[in-house]
């Protein structure tokens, strides 16, 4: 009863407080804040970019975005997860300048691996930055007039909430919430982790043992260090917190999953015995299926970005060595141009190729986006230990981690060793680094890295095609005939069809149409100086153009009779629609 009264009271305060806030935002900005370059300084949607969000928190932010900027942001559910959660997607574009689904588009997602949380915040930061800066910067205004950004902050919402709300290691669940029979004993998910000390983190179990190979570091008792080969230590390691729930003599052998949502995509997909982590068949996971269906319905997507962690990498395919010939030199040049700029924009991040610099893997998302759809795609492995102390060397080694928690986070990252009576192991100690340390940015590094990765992705999105009819020439051919020659220019790096796209005719040709006058014949001009042309004898008013190259042009010509007025339209799936009138 008391509690109810208190709640009502609080809500009343909150209500009036909110009114007051709206009325005085302008005044406050004048009186209390001074603009820092590069950041929205009067955001209509206040977000703290130094923490992580549950699905409820994300939806709240996204709904506030739509409310604040209805002409720039749209929110839709593109499907349901295994547990029935919505997969939310934001469309960010200037809706007053045309249909966002016909503008060249950039697709961004995060969190395909559920423990890799920050991809979600990074993706959402990009949406927030673009909409909050739209009224401030000419560059962003033009960008959103030309382009569309489709942003799915989390494509693994079920296991995201599980990672945050349930006890986990920094690496679990990684999959979604489907449980499989990992030990093939006929029971499904019967023996996962147990949070012995009930702190929400699955840390390590160690036990005193006369034959142990480890001792606690005398100078830093948090740290277990191995002893020399001829020495006995004091402790043995027993692995992550858990018990033998099913009596089979093993601990933690069958929990959530395991499968890998990033082995489920439909380009050169391989089954689990070839590619561990694959599920039943391509897009057999409902979350990925939702993304696939959205991408198939949006052929305007010309660039894509997927946010992962960890390691400070800008990755491109091929994922598997066996797929090497899919990536040809023409497309690699474009990949290189964008990613090398990315290395400058995001210090500490390296541009790498998955199969040779990381591991050889089939069925990855970036391979389907490129191999299966012809879309230039990167995966960024967010967070690198370089961001702690600018050390270029070995990433995330134990001593550095200990120093981070000593000098930067003051003990927030580590659960001190504490004794526990284990049903099978007897007296043990439980402790170690928390699930939200290591792979995930600490709060104070989150906003900066989000901004830099956003800047890279904006650069990528900026370089999706931008088409113009740059020149139209007429020539009198005598006898009432004339030729009309139109040059179509692509002002950006990315072509309307990647060479992978051209190889398989993934996307339809671009169509350059002559309207208002009958075309007697039509052609693509291959060499204007020597009149080398390739005629299209059928349907001459609508010239099919295979590709409009990045930073290049295509020239088409029609022969017509008479002097009627005409107009020209360029209709490209990935390049958008451009109209030309005299």
Partner 1 sequence: MILFVCLTRSFAVNEQTDYPSLDQLAAQLRQLANTHPEATLRSLGKTAGGKDIWVLEVGTGALDQKPAMAVVGGVEGYHVLGVTLTLKFAENLLTSNKETLASQTFYIFPNMSPDAYQQYFAPLKYERMGNATEVDHDRDGTISEDGYEDLNADGFITMMRVESSLGGYVVSEENPLLLRKADPKAAEKGTYLYLPEGIDSDKDGKHNEDLEEGIAFNKSFSYQFPAFEALAGDFPVSQIESRLLLDYLYERPNIYTVFTLGPANNLSEALPYQASNAQKRVVTSILEKDAELNKRLAKLYGETVSLKPYQQTNQGTPGDFFQWAYFHFARLSLSTPGWWVPEIKTAEDKNFTSTEANFLAWADSMGLEDVFVPWTEIDHPDYPHKKVEVGGIKPFVMHNPPYGMTDSLADMHTAYILQVAAQHPKLELLDLKTEKLDKDLTRITVELFNDAPFPTHTEMGKRSRWFKKIRVDMDRQVADILIGDKIKLIDSLDAYGKTTLNWVVKGKGAVRIQAGAPHTGYTEITVNL
**Is residue 359 within the footprint of partner 1 (CB under 8 A)?**
no
Smaller CB separation from partner 1, 261 or 312: 261
- Asked if 225 and 217 touch (Cβ cutoff 8 Å), the reply is yes
Smaller CB separation from partner 1, 34 or 359: 359
CB of 573 to partner 1, least distance (A): 8
Going by C-beta distance under 8 Å and a sequence separation of 6 or more, which residues neighbour residue 155?
A: 87, 109, 110, 111, 112, 261, 287, 288, 290, 291
Question: What SS3 class is residue 274?
Answer: coil
**Is residue 530 within the footprint of partner 1 (CB under 8 A)?**
no
Smaller CB separation from partner 1, 185 or 199: 185
Among 539, 552, 562, 563, interactor with partner 1 by CB under 8 A: 539
CB of 271 to partner 1, least distance (A): 4
Residue 23 CA: distances (Å) to CA of 196, 501, 527: 50, 53, 64
Smaller CB separation from partner 1, 180 or 402: 180
Q: Total number of residues binding partner 1 (CB under 8 A)?
A: 40
Query: How far apart are alpha carbons 56 and 157 in whole angstroms?
Result: 10
CB of 453 to partner 1, least distance (A): 29
Pairing of strands 414-422, 426-433: antiparallel
Side-chain-side CA neighbours of residue 211 (13 Å): 0
CB of 324 to partner 1, least distance (A): 13
Among 372, 461, 495, 522, interactor with partner 1 by CB under 8 A: 372
CB of 275 to partner 1, least distance (A): 9
CB of 575 to partner 1, least distance (A): 14
CB of 465 to partner 1, least distance (A): 17
CB of 180 to partner 1, least distance (A): 7
**Is residue 442 within the footprint of partner 1 (CB under 8 A)?**
no
Sheet of strand 86-92, all strands in order from the earlier edge strand to the far edge: 73-80, 86-92, 148-152, 105-110, 301-309, 376-382, 313-316, 350-353
Smaller CB separation from partner 1, 246 or 491: 246
Smaller CB separation from partner 1, 161 or 260: 260
Q: Which DSSP symbol is given to 168?
A: B
Q: Spell out, one character per residue from 279 to 298, where the chain touches partner 1: x when CB under 8 A holds, - when not.
A: -xxxxx-------x---x--
Tell me the sheet residues that pair with 557. Answer: 485, 523
**Of 266, 287, 258, which is closest to residue 192 (Cα–Cα)?**
258
**Is residue 110 within the footprint of partner 1 (CB under 8 A)?**
no
**Cα angle 89, 94, 99; round to 5:** 75
Going by C-beta distance under 8 Å and a sequence separation of 6 or more, which residues neighbour residue 536?
A: 521, 522, 523, 524, 543, 544
**Is residue 76 within the footprint of partner 1 (CB under 8 A)?**
no
Q: Spell out, one character per residue from 229 to 258, where the chain touches partner 1: x when CB under 8 A holds, - when not.
A: -----------------xxxx---------
- Asked if 289 and 266 touch (Cβ cutoff 8 Å), the reply is no
- Asked if 153 and 61 touch (Cβ cutoff 8 Å), the reply is no
Smaller CB separation from partner 1, 166 or 253: 253
Smaller CB separation from partner 1, 473 or 508: 508
Q: φ, ψ for residue 564 (rounded to 5)? A: -60, 155
Pairing of strands 148-152, 220-226: unpaired
Q: Which stretch binds partner 1 (CB under 8 A): 107-115, 134-142, 454-462, 536-544?
A: 536-544
Among 184, 218, 228, 229, interactor with partner 1 by CB under 8 A: 184
Query: How far apart are alpha carbons 248 and 286 in whole angstroms?
Result: 32
**Is residue 183 within the footprint of partner 1 (CB under 8 A)?**
yes
Q: Spell out, one character per residue from 402 to 441, where the chain touches partner 1: x when CB under 8 A holds, - when not.
A: ----------------------------------------
Query: How far apart are alpha carbons 249 and 257 in whole angstroms?
Result: 20
Among 274, 324, 332, 528, interactor with partner 1 by CB under 8 A: 274
Smaller CB separation from partner 1, 231 or 421: 421
Smaller CB separation from partner 1, 311 or 575: 575
Among 3, 84, 186, 392, interactor with partner 1 by CB under 8 A: 186
Smaller CB separation from partner 1, 166 or 248: 248
Smaller CB separation from partner 1, 173 or 372: 372
Smaller CB separation from partner 1, 21 or 274: 274
Smaller CB separation from partner 1, 126 or 177: 177
Residue with tokens 């040779």: 356
Query: How far apart are alpha carbons 242 and 235 in whole angstroms?
Result: 18
Tell me the sheet residues that pair with 515. Answer: 567
Q: Which DSSP symbol is given to 352?
A: E
Among 84, 393, 537, 582, interactor with partner 1 by CB under 8 A: 537
**Is residue 166 within the footprint of partner 1 (CB under 8 A)?**
no
CB of 371 to partner 1, least distance (A): 8
CB of 84 to partner 1, least distance (A): 18
Q: Which tokens belong to 394?
A: 């070995």
Q: Spell out, one character per residue from 313 to 352, where the chain touches partner 1: x when CB under 8 A holds, - when not.
A: ---------x------------------------------
Three-state SS string across 363-398, please? CCHHHHHHHHCCCEEEEEEECCCHHHHCCCCCCCCH
Q: To 10 degrees, the CA torsion angle through 487, 492, 493, 497?
A: -60
Report whether the peptide linkage leading into residue 292 is cis, meaning its omega lies within 30 degrees of zero. Answer: no
Ramachandran category for residue 178: left, alpha or beta (phi over 0 → left; psi -120 to 50 → alpha): beta
Interacting residues with partner 1 between 476 and 515 (CB under 8 A):
504-506, 508-509, 511
Q: Which stretch binds partner 1 (CB under 8 A): 19-27, 183-191, 344-352, 454-462?
A: 183-191
Tell me the angle at which helices 443-462 and 329-345 cross, rounded to the nearest 10 degrees.
140
> CA torsion sign, 75 to 76 to 81 to 85?
positive
By the criterion CB under 8 A, which residues form the site for partner 1?
180-186, 246-249, 266-267, 269-274, 280-284, 292, 296, 322, 362, 368, 372, 504-506, 508-509, 511, 537-539, 544
């Amino acid at each position: 009863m008391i509690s109810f009264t208190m709640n009502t009271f609080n809500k009343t305060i909150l209500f009036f407080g909110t009114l007051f806030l709206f009325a005085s935002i302008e005044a406050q900005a004048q009186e209390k804040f001074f603009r820092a370059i590069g950041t929205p300084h009067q955001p209509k949607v206040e977000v703290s970019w130094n923490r992580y969000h549950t699905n409820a928190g994300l939806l709240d932010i996204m709904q506030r975005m739509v409310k604040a900027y209805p002409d720039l942001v749209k929110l839709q559910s593109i499907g349901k997860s295994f547990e029935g959660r919505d997969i939310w997607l934001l469309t960010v574009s200037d809706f007053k300048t045309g249909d966002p689904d016909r503008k060249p588009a950039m697709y961004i997602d995060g969190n395909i691996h559920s423990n890799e949380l920050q991809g979600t915040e990074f993706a959402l930061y990009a949406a927030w930055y673009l909409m909050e800066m739209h009224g401030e910067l000419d560059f962003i205004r033009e960008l959103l007039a030309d382009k569309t950004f489709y942003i799915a902050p989390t494509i693994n919402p079920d296991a995201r909430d599980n990672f945050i709300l349930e006890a986990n290691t920094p690496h679990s669940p990684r999959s979604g919430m489907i449980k499989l029979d990992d030990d093939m004993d006929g029971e499904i998910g019967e023996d996962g982790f147990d949070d012995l000390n009930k702190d929400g983190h699955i840390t390590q179990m160690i036990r005193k043992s006369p034959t142990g190979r480890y001792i606690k570091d005398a100078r830093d008792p948090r740290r277990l260090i191995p002893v020399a080969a001829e020495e006995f230590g004091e402790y043995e390691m027993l692995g992550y917190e858990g018990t033998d729930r099913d009596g089979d003599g093993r601990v933690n052998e069958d929990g959530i999953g395991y499968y890998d949502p990033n082995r489920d995509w439909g380009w050169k997909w391989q089954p689990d015995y070839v590619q561990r982590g694959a599920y039943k068949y391509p897009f057999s996971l409902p979350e990925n299926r939702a993304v696939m269906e959205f991408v198939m319905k949006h052929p305007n997507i010309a660039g894509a970005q997927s946010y992962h962690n960890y390691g400070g990498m800008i990755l491109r395919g091929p994922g598997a060595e066996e797929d090497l010939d899919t990536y040809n030199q023409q497309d690699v040049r474009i990949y290189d141009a964008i990613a090398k700029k990315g290395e400058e924009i995001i210090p500490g991040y390296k541009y790498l190729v998955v199969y040779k610099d990381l591991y050889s893997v089939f069925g990855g998302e970036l391979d389907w986006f490129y191999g299966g759809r012809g879309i230039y795609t990167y995966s960024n492995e967010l967070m690198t230990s370089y961001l702690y102390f600018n050390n270029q060397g070995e990433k995330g080694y134990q001593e550095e981690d200990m120093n981070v928690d000593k000098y930067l986070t003051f003990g927030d990252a580590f659960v001190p060793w504490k004794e526990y009576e284990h049903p099978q192991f007897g007296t043990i100690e439980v402790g170690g680094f928390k699930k939200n340390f290591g792979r995930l940015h600490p709060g104070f590094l989150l906003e900066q890295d989000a901004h830099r990765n956003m800047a890279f992705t904006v650069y990528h999105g900026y370089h999706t095609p931008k088409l113009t009819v740059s020149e139209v020439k007429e020539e009198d051919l005598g006898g009432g005939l004339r030729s009309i020659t139109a040059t179509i220019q692509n002002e950006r790096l990315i072509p309307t069809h990647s060479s992978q796209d051209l190889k398989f005719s993934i996307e339809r040709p671009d169509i350059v149409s002559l309207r208002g006058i009958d075309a007697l014949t039509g052609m693509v001009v291959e060499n204007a100086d020597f009149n080398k042309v390739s005629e299209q004898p059928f349907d001459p008013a609508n010239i099919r153009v295979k590709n409009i190259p990045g930073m290049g042009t295509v020239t088409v010509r029609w022969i017509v009779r008479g002097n009627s007025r005409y107009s020209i339209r360029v209709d490209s799936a990935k390049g958008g629609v451009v109209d030309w009138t005299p």
